[in-house]
C-alpha cells in the first residue's frame, strides 16, 4: 500500500472531525457524519485487506447513501414529503426534512467511494470511471461551497466544508492506490474514459440547467399565487366600493338624513353580503357619527365627532363633507379596536344637491384577507401585508420558510402596501420536479455503464460481434413484422381492388369531420354496371372499377374530401366545408369524368354515374340521416333517368 495513500486516508479523519463543528447546516451533519465514519473505517479495513470487515462497513454505507439519493428521485405521489416529515417527527430532535437532506452529489460521492472499494478497484468493473465521477461531484460541491447561493434555491445545495475536505482526501487515497495500474493500462482506459466523462459532464450541465429552470418555475408558481391573491384583493375592493356607491345613491334619492330603522334595514343587506365590513356608519355634516350598523360592538361610536377623535383622517373625511367627493384613508387603527381602511362617500340630496353627510365604510383588513385566503390553497406558505416598517397581516406558517419571497405592491385605501408570499421549506420540496435529479442519476449511470461496456469491448470483441449480428437479425425481423403490420393495417382501411378507403375508413373519417360544417355526403352508383360483369366478366368489371376509382378520387381529394368504395359499384364521397352549390359542381365533375372515361356498356353506350347528395349545415351531424337523405336522392336520380345529380331537399 503506497505511503501517500495511507497518509491521505489518515489525514481525512481530522478533516472529518472538523465537519462536526457547528455551521450553517447543522442538520446535515447528523446524516453525513455517520456515513463518513462508516466509509472511513471501511476504507481503512480495505487497505489492510480485512475484506469481510470492510464489506460489513461499506454495504450499509452504500445502501444508506442510495436511500438519500432515492429521496430525491421518488415521485411525490409515491411517498410524499409529508410522509417523510411525519416519520422524522417521530424522532427526537425536531428534524426538518429540508435541512436534514444533504446535497445529492454528497450522497453520490459517498456511494461511489463505497462502491469502488467493494469492487476492489478493478478496471473491468469501471473503477477509473467511478473515480472520475467522484471528481466531478467533488468539484461541483466545492464550487457551490465557495460561490454565492442561487437566488431562488429550493433545496440544500451546500455541504459542510469539513465533509467536502474529507471526501476529497478519501478520493485521493483511492486514486493513489489505483495509480500504478492506470499508468500501465492508460491507452486501454483513455478512450472509454473520455466518452464516459463527456456524458457525465453533459448530464451534470443538463441537471444544473434543469434545476435552475425548475427553481425559476417554482418562483413563478409562488408569484402566480401572489398575483392571484392581489387580483382577488383588487376585485373584492372594487366590488364592495361599487356596492357602497349603490348604497349611497339610495340615500341621495331619499333626500333626507336616514332614521335609525331606515339605516339598519338598508345597511344590513350590504353588511351581510360583505362579511369583512366592520361597520357601516352615517356621518352628519359636522363629522359626527349618528347612525351605525351593526350596533353590537359599535354602539360607542354613535355621537363621536370623527374630526376630533381621528384628526389624522381629517383630510379623508373633508373630501365628502366639504368637497362632496369620495375620500379614503390608508391603514388606520379603528376607534373600537382593530385596523383597516375607511372609505367615505358623500350623500347629497338628488333634487337640490345639498350635502346631507357621508357614508363611512369600515373594512377590517384581517377579516378581508382571511376571507379571501380561506378559499385558496395557501396553508403551506406565508402571506403577509406590510407597509414601510409595519406588518399589518400575516397568514400561514411563521417558521421554516424559504429565504426568498415574492412581493408585489397593492393599493389599499390611500396606501400602497407590499403583499408578500413566502413558501415553506417542505412546500418547496413537494413542488420540486424530480426530473433534474433523474437526469443527473441516469446520466451518471449511463456514463459508468458506457465506460464499462467500451472497456470490456476491447477484450471481448468477438462476443460483441456475435451479439451485434444477433441484434441486427432481430432488428430486421422486427422491421419485417412492422412492415407486415403496416400493410395489414392499410388493408383493413382500404379496398384492395380500387386502393380506395373502404367503408370502415369512410365512416371513421366522416365522424372526424363532424365539426367542419357544412359537410357534404355523396353516394355515387354506376348505372347498369351489373350488365358489365354479366357480359364482359368480373375481371373486366374490376378493371372498370379501378379505372373509374382513379378518375373520381382526384376531384374529391383536390377539394379536400375523401372518396372511397362503399361496396360493389357504389362509392361515397365526403367533403368538409362544402356547401350545396359547390357540392353540385363537384358532383357534376364526377359525373362527367365517368361519362368521358371511354368505358362502355354492353350496348355500346358510355358508362354513367348517378349521384345523390345530402348536405349538413348545422350541428350536430347525424351520419345515418345523412346517408338516408343521400340514398333517397340517389334513388330519385335513378328514377329520373340516371346519369344525373340529385340534391336532398331536407337537412339532416
Cα–Cα dist 26/38, whole Å: 19
477, pLDDT greater than 80: yes
Bigger pLDDT: 465 vs 480? 480
The whole-number pLDDT of residue 206 equals 92
The whole-number pLDDT of residue 378 equals 64
* Domain covering 218-431: architecture: 2-Layer Sandwich (3.30)
Q: Do domains 218-431 and 503-647 have the same CATH topology?
A: no
Mean pLDDT on 506-516: 83
Indicate the burial class of 24 (C-beta count within 10 angstroms; 0-12, 13-18, 19 or more).
Answer: exposed
Mean pLDDT on 421-442: 86
Mean pLDDT on 197-202: 92
Residue 111 grid coordinates: 456511494
Q: For residue 1, name the pLDDT band (cuts at 50, 70, 90).
A: low
Domain ranges of the chain: 3-184, 218-431, 503-647
381, pLDDT greater than 70: yes
Mean pLDDT on 390-405: 84
Q: For residue 377, name the pLDDT band (cuts at 50, 70, 90).
A: low
**Whole-model pTM above 0.75?**
no
The whole-number pLDDT of residue 651 equals 64
Which of the residue ranges 19-33, 398-412, 538-552 would you say has the lowest mean pLDDT? Answer: 19-33
Give tens-digit pLDDT for 118-147.
887 787 788 888 999 999 999 998 888 888
- Kindly report each contact of residues 78-82 with a partner whose C-beta sits within 8 Å and lies 24 or more positions away, as own/partner: 80/430, 81/426, 81/429, 81/430, 82/426, 82/430
12, pLDDT greater than 80: yes
The whole-number pLDDT of residue 198 equals 92
Closest CA to 439 of 200, 607, 95: 200
Give tens-digit pLDDT for 414-427.
888 899 998 888 88
H helical segments located in 537-616: 538-558, 580-595
Bigger pLDDT: 462 vs 337? 337
Cis peptide before 179 (omega within 30 of 0): no
Bigger pLDDT: 3 vs 27? 3
Q: For residue 23, name the pLDDT band (cuts at 50, 70, 90).
A: low
Cα–Cα dist 323/332, whole Å: 22
Which is the CATH superfamily of the domain at 503-647?
A: Reverse transcriptase/Diguanylate cyclase domain (3.30.70.270)
The whole-number pLDDT of residue 484 equals 83
The whole-number pLDDT of residue 462 equals 53
Amino acid at each position: 500500500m503506497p505511503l501517500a495513500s495511507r497518509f491521505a486516508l489518515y489525514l481525512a479523519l481530522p478533516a472529518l472531525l472538523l465537519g462536526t463543528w457547528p455551521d450553517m447546516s447543522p442538520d446535515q451533519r447528523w446524516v453525513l457524519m455517520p456515513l463518513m465514519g462508516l466509509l472511513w473505517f471501511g476504507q481503512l479495513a480495505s487497505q489492510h485487506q480485512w475484506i469481510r470487515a470492510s464489506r460489513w462497513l461499506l454495504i450499509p454505507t452504500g445502501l444508506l447513501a442510495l436511500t438519500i439519493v432515492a429521496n430525491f428521485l421518488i415521485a411525490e405521489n409515491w411517498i410524499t414529503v409529508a410522509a417523510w416529515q411525519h416519520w422524522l417527527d417521530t424522532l427526537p430532535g425536531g428534524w426538518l426534512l429540508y435541512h436534514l437532506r444533504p446535497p445529492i452529489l454528497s450522497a453520490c460521492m459517498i456511494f461511489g467511494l463505497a462502491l469502488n472499494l467493494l469492487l476492489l478497484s478493478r478496471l473491468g468493473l469501471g473503477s477509473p470511471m467511478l473515480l472520475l465521477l467522484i471528481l466531478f461531484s467533488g468539484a461541483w460541491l466545492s464550487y457551490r461551497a465557495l460561490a454565492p447561493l442561487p437566488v431562488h434555491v429550493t433545496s440544500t445545495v451546500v455541504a459542510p466544508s469539513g465533509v467536502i475536505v474529507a471526501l476529497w482526501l478519501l478520493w485521493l487515497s483511492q486514486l493513489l492506490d489505483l495509480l500504478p495500474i492506470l499508468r500501465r493500462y492508460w491507452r486501454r482506459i483513455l478512450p472509454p474514459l473520455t466518452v464516459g466523462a463527456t456524458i457525465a459532464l453533459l448530464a451534470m450541465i443538463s441537471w444544473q440547467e434543469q434545476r435552475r429552470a425548475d427553481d425559476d418555475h417554482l418562483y413563478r408558481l409562488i408569484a402566480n399565487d401572489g398575483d392571484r391573491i392581489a387580483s382577488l384583493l383588487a376585485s373584492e375592493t372594487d366590488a364592495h366600493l361599487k356596492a357602497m356607491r349603490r348604497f349611497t345613491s339610495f340615500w341621495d334619492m331619499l333626500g333626507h338624513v336616514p332614521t335609525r330603522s331606515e339605516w339598519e334595514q338598508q345597511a344590513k343587506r350590504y353588511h351581510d353580503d360583505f362579511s369583512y365590513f366592520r361597520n357601516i356608519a352615517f356621518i352628519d355634516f359636522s363629522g359626527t357619527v349618528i347612525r351605525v350598523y351593526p350596533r353590537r360592538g359599535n354602539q360607542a361610536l354613535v355621537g363621536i365627532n370623527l374630526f376630533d377623535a381621528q384628526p389624522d383622517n381629517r383630510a379623508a373625511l373633508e373630501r365628502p363633507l366639504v368637497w362632496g367627493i369620495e375620500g379614503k384613508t390608508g391603514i388606520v387603527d379603528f376607534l373600537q379596536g382593530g385596523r383597516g381602511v375607511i372609505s367615505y362617500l358623500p350623500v347629497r340630496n338628488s333634487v337640490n344637491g345639498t350635502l346631507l353627510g357621508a357614508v363611512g365604510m369600515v373594512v377590517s383588513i384581517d377579516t378581508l384577507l382571511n376571507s379571501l385566503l380561506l378559499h385558496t390553497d395557501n396553508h403551506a406558505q406565508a402571506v403577509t401585508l406590510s407597509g414601510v416598517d409595519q406588518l399589518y397581516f400575516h397568514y400561514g406558517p411563521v417558521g421554516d420558510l424559504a429565504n426568498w419571497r415574492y412581493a408585489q405592491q397593492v393599493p389599499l385605501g390611500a396606501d400602497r402596501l407590499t403583499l408578500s408570499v413566502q413558501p415553506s421549506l417542505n412546500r418547496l420540496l413537494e413542488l420540486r420536479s424530480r426530473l433534474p435529479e433523474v437526469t443527473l442519476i441516469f446520466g451518471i449511470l449511463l456514463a459508468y455503464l458506457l465506460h464499462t461496456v467500451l472497456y470490456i469491448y476491447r477484450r471481448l470483441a468477438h462476443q460483441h460481434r456475435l451479439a451485434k449480428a444477433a441484434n441486427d437479425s432481430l432488428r430486421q425481423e422486427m422491421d419485417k413484422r412492422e412492415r407486415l403490420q403496416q400493410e395489414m393495417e392499410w388493408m383493413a382501411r382500404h379496398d384492395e381492388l380500387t386502393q380506395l378507403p373502404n367503408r370502415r375508413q369512410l365512416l371513421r373519417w366522416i365522424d372526424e369531420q363532424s365539426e367542419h360544417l357544412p359537410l357534404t355526403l355523396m353516394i355515387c352508383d354506376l348505372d347498369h354496371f351489373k350488365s358489365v360483369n354479366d357480359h364482359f366478366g368480373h375481371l373486366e368489371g374490376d378493371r372498370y372499377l379501378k379505372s373509374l376509382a382513379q378518375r373520381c378520387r382526384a376531384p374529391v381529394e383536390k377539394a379536400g374530401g375523401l372518396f372511397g368504395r362503399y361496396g360493389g359499384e357504389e362509392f361515397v364521397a365526403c367533403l368538409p366545408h362544402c356547401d350545396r352549390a359547390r357540392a353540385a359542381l363537384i358532383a357534376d365533375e364526377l359525373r362527367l369524368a365517368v361519362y368521358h372515361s371511354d368505358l362502355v356498356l354492353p350496348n355500346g353506350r358510355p358508362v354513367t354515374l348517378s349521384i345523390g347528395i345530402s348536405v349538413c349545415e348545422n350541428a350536430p351531424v347525424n351520419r345515418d340521416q345523412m346517408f338516408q337523405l343521400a340514398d333517397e336522392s340517389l334513388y330519385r336520380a335513378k328514377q329520373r333517368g340516371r346519369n344525373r345529380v340529385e340534391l336532398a331537399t331536407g337537412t339532416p
